[in-house]
Amino acid sequence: MWEQLRPIGRDPRTNGYRRFAWGSADAQLREWFAHQASARGLALTEDRMGNQWAWWGDPDSEGPGLVLGSHLDSVPDGGAYDGPLGVVSALAAVDRLRAAGHRPDRPVAVANFVDEEGARFGIALAGSRVITGLLDADRARGLRDGDGITMAQAMRAAGKDPELIGPDPETVARIGTYLELHVEQGRALVDLGAPVAVGTDIWPHGRWRVDLPGEANHAGTTRLADRRDAVLALADVIQRTRAAAQDRGALATVGKVRIEPGGVNAIASAATAWLDARGANPDAVRGVIADVSATVQGYDGTVQEESWTPRTTFHPDVVRRMGEVLGGIPTLGTGAGHDAGVLAQAGIDAGMLFVRNPTGVSHSPAEFADEADCLAGVEALAAVALDLTGERR
């Protein structure tokens, strides 16, 4: 499975992945997932957002079920493990259970959530947010990518009906428990000397759009004193973002900017930046945004919140049970968002497992996990799934 996924959406110039929602690579990934379901005799369904579900058993007559999974999309020039490791491990865990002759007492599914990273349309976790009602359907349809293409247009081009987008209580009701395995996006497990950990919670996090005005003019004839350069304002805002995060003990990143008109010899008439902020303390995160907003206002700019996710604690019984089954392995909180967190907010019993990342690098082509640790993750996921389903009588 890993070798089949390896070339899809890979940029040979960077060795990173560009697997964006409703694009050509995404279509190949969805086809790959459908093939995996068919090869195992699993019933493939799609919900109102296009998330894919491969069911072992009937969730409507025998559910709610146990769902294992993650996502297959990536950030720009992302790594091979973030998302796909969880999907591949879920399929491998189901293979192990079936090979052992296990007859689960409730349905089991493998899920592939669409647009988890939000790399194309700017809202992370869109697939799970929409079906749980945490992202408004009209807003989702109207989101635009860097080329001005709306999500609705992209879905139509991919053969999907965007008018179907919306909360899907029927699908959500099929999920009794959700477990997501993910590569660690840090290096705590290196220090702890453990290949796998149980996730406990997700830090509060959000994304904000910053718009800064300027005045277009000629780069070669306009005196410095006469310029109103939006890029200078942007540079100040970025520096303030870093300083505010340091002052308040949070994390904040400006990873995407847009300059208009974008000419080498043109003074910028406008600059837009997208700011990601997160931390263990929600007040600290909000404080960063307040500090940045004060700087933005000084340039007559605006700050608009695009998403906010409060601290998400995974179900204590699921966390406890995983710890017991896996022999008291380490527990970890995380600053990264996951579909498991969205489902937990929606009242579903959710939990996570993390697989050791020897470098701690993520969202990069250098992202990596040792094969032995990945296999340990599969074993852990299969063991927990076995415990949570029991044997049909």
Confidence class for position 308, pLDDT limits 50, 70, 90: confident
pLDDT of residue 393: 60
Residues 27-61 pLDDT 10s: 999 999 999 999 999 999 999 999 999 999 999 99
Q: How far is CA 312 from CA 113, 118, 202, 280, in A?
A: 19, 19, 5, 11
pLDDT at 254 over 80: yes
Mean pLDDT within 15-26: 97
pLDDT of residue 110: 98
Give the span between the Cα atoms of 241 and 212, in whole angstroms. 15
Mean pLDDT within 160-188: 96
pLDDT at 309 over 90: no
**pTM here?**
0.84
Residues 84-122 pLDDT 10s: 999 999 999 999 999 999 999 999 999 999 999 999 998
Backbone dihedral angles phi then psi of residue 17, each to the nearest 5 degrees: -110, 140
Mean pLDDT within 152-160: 97
pLDDT of residue 31: 98
pLDDT of residue 335: 83
pLDDT of residue 310: 85
Q: Can you give the C-alpha Rg of the chain in angstroms?
A: 22
Give the span between the Cα atoms of 84 and 183, in whole angstroms. 9
Residues 364-393 pLDDT 10s: 999 999 999 999 999 999 999 999 998 766
Give the span between the Cα atoms of 240 and 236, in whole angstroms. 6
